[in-house]
Amino acid sequence: MKRTVIKLVAVGLAGLILLGNVRLHRPGSDRTTGAQLEFLARSLDEGGAERMQRWFPEGYVFTWALYGLASAQHARGMAQNDPARAYHLGAAEEAVWAVRTDSARSTFDPDLSPPRGAFYSAWSLYVLAEYVRATGKDAVSADVLTMFRDECDRFVLALESSESPFLESYRSLIWPADTAVGIAALGIYDSAVGPRYGPTIEHWVTAARARLDPRLGALSHSAAPGSGAPLGGARGGSLALMSRVLIDADSAFAAEQFSILRERFVDYRLGLPGVREYAHGIEGVGDVDSGPVILGFAGPATVVGAGAARVHGDLRLAEILLGVVEMVGVPIQGWRTRRYGGGMVPVGDAFVAWSRSSPIGLSEWPSILPRLWHLPVHLVSGLLLTLLAIRVKWALGRLQPRNA
């Protein structure tokens, strides 16, 4: 009996090691995204967004918004006559209204400018923008188009009333990434509905450029109330997010920020690439925004960095980062669903789906990772398998019956 148990455990461990090595080279496809969205739909039906709300104040809105964004992007990549397209557009529309319920809004201060602050206003507007773009302006109702325009106008009014280009998410708390998401929504309006907010976007980019972190020339993670001066420097998670979304507002500015992300935050440790939370040469600790920082890497920065790489056309980097997610995220593939980390953190699954479904840009970027970047991982895995085999052989040898 003991021999059987030892063999089964050994086979299980060896299988996990080999599976991880295979997944490192399998970044996923549209089919993977579809399975993720199916899991997220079920999770949301079972209170997944409410569970995330108990973890952090934006959990409910964030989970629904990312689900809606991924659904809209997934639908955009489908043929017009694909029957699944209508289903995913319906899921995106469901997310549009889910983030506009009284319970979703209740967390946020209605007296801020814009109402309920930059985070809520920007992300709820952004998922609406992606829904309209994916559906097409001629296929959505006049009421939805009017709501889209009115919410964009309110966001612009808040910008025009502010000395800083970065709006408050909470009282005296400013994260430029939240405002950048709203600026991206304005850009989507102009491309999907018609020109309206070009001057606002141009003015915002000019003001944001004047407030870059002087050490890196990048948008900062947080900003000072009133002036919008950079606070605390740039960080990988927020820089990845801003370079990802701003592609829809000012592609040149977004490419500049993405270039800094590649040069100063993409790293390579123990054979595994990833995106650092803090730039090379800067040490820091994890927080609610970054999650745990391990060997300098942060999960959200790496996942969103893959999405940024896709929209900027760096498909090699995007696929490498998504491959790392496949290896370390321990995905579980069901009959029609796919979840990461056991599905315990639905907002994390939603981030992966959003990044994986991001459209691929047309630009070209030189490789920043070695051609055989994966070789150390495979060598270490081979060493582990060898040590495992030796250990099993030793354990089985001890169980041999002794001669009388």
Per the CB < 8 A criterion, the answer to whether 259 and 265 are in contact is: no
Number of domains, the chain: 1
Q: Which pLDDT score, from 0 to 100, does residue 17 have? A: 87
For the record, the structure tokens of 120 come out as: 């809520």
Question: Which letter, b or e, does each residue of 54-90 get, where b requires 16 or more Cβ atoms within 10 Å of its Cβ?
Answer: eeeebbbbbbbbbbbbbbbbbbbbbeeeeeebebbbe
Structure confidence at residue 402 (pLDDT): 56
Q: What are phi and psi of 162, to 5 degrees?
A: -110, 140
Q: How far is CA 272 from CA 24, 238, 371, 380, in A?
A: 9, 21, 13, 11
Residue 193 pairs in a beta bridge with: none
Buried b (16+ CB within 10 A) or exposed e, 121-144: bbbbbbbbbbbbbbbeeeebeeeb
Domain ranges, residue 79: 26-373
Give domain status of residue 363, yes or no.
Answer: yes
Q: Is position 11 within any domain? A: no
Q: Tokens standing for 70?
A: 């991924």
| Residues in the chain with pLDDT values less than 50 | 404
Is the residue at 389 inside a domain?
no
Q: Tokens in use for 352?
A: 């992966």
Residue 111 lies in a domain: yes
CB-based burial label for 181 (10 Å; 0-12, 13-18, 19+): buried
Burial of 225 (0-12, 13-18, 19+ CB in 10 A): middle
CATH of the domain at 202: 1.50.10.20
Reduced DSSP (H G I as helix, E B as strand, rest coil) percent helix, strand, coil of the chain, to 5: 60, 5, 35
3-state SS, residue 220: coil
| Sequence-ordered alpha helix ranges (H) in 57-175 | 59-76, 83-98, 102-105, 117-135, 142-160
Tokens 């047309």 map to which residue? 362
Over residues 36-83, the pLDDT tens digits come to 999 999 999 999 999 999 999 999 999 999 999 999 999 999 999 899
| Residue 355 placed within a domain | yes
**In-domain check, residue 144:** yes
Residue 266 within any structural domain of the chain = yes
Q: What is the pLDDT of residue 401?
A: 62
Q: Measured between alpha carbons, how far is 2 from 8 in angstroms, rounded to an integer? A: 10
What would the two tokens of residue 238 be? 């927020």
Q: Cα torsion for 181, 186, 192, 196, to the nearest 10°?
A: -170
Q: Does residue 394 sit within a domain?
A: no
- Quote the CA–CA distance of 60 and 101 in Å, as a whole number: 11
Q: Please tell me the predicted confidence (pLDDT) of residue 384.
A: 85
- pLDDT for 404 equals 44
Tell me phi and psi for residue 194, to 5 degrees.
Answer: 160, 155
Residues 351-377: pLDDT tens digits? 999 999 999 998 889 998 988 898 888
For residue 77, which of 126, 136, 134 has the smallest C-alpha distance?
A: 134
